[in-house]
Structure 1
Amino acid sequence: MSLLENISKNIYSLDKSSMSQAKQRLDRLIKPTGSLGKIEDICMQLAGIYENKYFDTSKKAIIAFGGDHGVYEEGVAPDPQNITQLQFPNFAKGICGVGVLSKFVGADVIAVDVGVNCDHKLEGVLDYKIRKGTSNMAKGPAMSREEAIRCLEIGIEVAEECIKNGYKVIGIGEMGICNTTPSSAIISVIDNCDPEEVTGIGAGLKKEKLKHKAETIRKAIELNKPNRDDAVDILAKVGGFELGAMAGVVLACAANRIPVVIDGFISYASALLAYKINPKTKEYMIASHTSAEAGTEKALEIIKLSPLLNMDMRLGEGSGAALAFNIIEASNYTYKNMATFDEVNWVDRD
Structure 2
Amino acid sequence: MLSETLAAIRPADPRALADARAHQDRLTKPRGSLGALEEVAVRLAGAAGTCPPPMPSPAALAIFAADHGVHAQGVSPWPQEVTAQMVANFLAGGAVANSFAAQAAASVTVVDVGIATDLPPGFAGLPALVDHKIARGTADLSLGPAMSRDQAVAAVEAGISVARALVSSGARCLITGDMGIANTTASAALISAFTGHDPARVTGHGTGIDEETYAHKVAIVRRALEVNSFDVADPLSVLAAVGGFEHGAIAGFVLGGAALGVPVILDGVIAGSAALVAAALAPAVVDHCVAGHRSAEPGHAAALGHLGLRPLVDLELRLGEGTGGLLAHPLVCAAVRVMHEVATFDSAGVTDKTG
| TM-score normalised by L of structure 2 | 0.95
Which string of whole-angstrom CA distances, capped at 9 and with x for unpartnered residues, describes residues 261-311 of structure 1? 110111110000001111111111100111101222221111111100110
Contact 1:174 1:242 in 2 (8 A): yes
1:39 CA drift (Å): 1.4
Contact 1:188 1:194 in 2 (8 A): yes
For 1:234, which of 238, 263, 271 is the aligned residue?
238
1:315 CA drift (Å): 0.3
Q: Counterparts of 1:57-136 in structure 2 under 5 Å?
A: 57-119=56-118, 121=124, 123=126, 124-136=128-140
Contact 2:84 2:118 in 1 (8 A): no
- Look up the match of 2:45: 47
- Look up the match of 2:214: 210
Contact 1:189 1:226 in 2 (8 A): no
Give the counterpart letter for 1:66 in structure 2. A
Are 2:167 and 1:163 aligned?
Answer: yes
- Look up the match of 2:3: 5
Which string of whole-angstrom CA distances, capped at 9 and with x for unpartnered residues, describes residues 155-188 of structure 1? 0011011111121110101000010000000011
1:90 CA drift (Å): 2.3
Give the counterpart letter for 2:185 in structure 1. T
- Tell me which moved more, 315-324 or 293-302: 293-302
- Tell me which moved more, 324-333 or 262-271: 324-333
- Look up the match of 2:191: 187
Contact 2:345 2:351 in 1 (8 A): yes
For 2:180, which of 176, 201, 211 is the aligned residue?
176
SS of equivalent residue, structure 1 residue 58: coil
Contact 1:89 1:125 in 2 (8 A): no
1:56 CA drift (Å): 2.3
**For residues 130 and 89 of structure 2, what CA distance do their matches in structure 1 show?**
13
- Tell me which moved more, 115-124 or 72-81: 115-124
Contact 1:286 1:307 in 2 (8 A): yes
SS of equivalent residue, structure 2 residue 185: helix
Which string of whole-angstrom CA distances, capped at 9 and with x for unpartnered residues, describes residues 13-49 of structure 1? 1122222222222111111111111111111111122
- Look up the match of 2:301: 297
1:148 CA drift (Å): 0.3
SS of equivalent residue, structure 1 residue 309: coil
**For residues 20 and 193 of structure 1, what CA distance do their matches in structure 2 show?**
35
**For residues 157 and 45 of structure 1, what CA distance do their matches in structure 2 show?**
25
Are 2:329 and 1:329 aligned?
Answer: no
Contact 1:94 1:103 in 2 (8 A): no
- Look up the match of 1:201: 205
- Look up the match of 2:33: 35
Contact 1:186 1:269 in 2 (8 A): yes
For 1:264, which of 264, 268, 271 is the aligned residue?
268
1:260 CA drift (Å): 0.6
1:122 CA drift (Å): 6.6
**For residues 92 and 42 of structure 1, what CA distance do their matches in structure 2 show?**
32
Which string of whole-angstrom CA distances, capped at 9 and with x for unpartnered residues, describes residues 26-75 of structure 1? 11111111111111111111112222223122210111100000000000
1:115 CA drift (Å): 0.3
How many residues align? The count is 348
Structure 2 segments unaligned to the other structure (5+ residues): none
Contact 2:199 2:222 in 1 (8 A): yes
Give the counterpart letter for 1:184 in structure 2. A
Structure 1 segments unaligned to the other structure (5+ residues): none
**For residues 55 and 168 of structure 2, what CA distance do their matches in structure 1 show?**
15
Q: Counterparts of 1:235-250 in structure 2 under 5 Å?
A: 235-250=239-254
Contact 1:199 1:295 in 2 (8 A): yes
Give the counterpart letter for 1:132 in structure 2. R
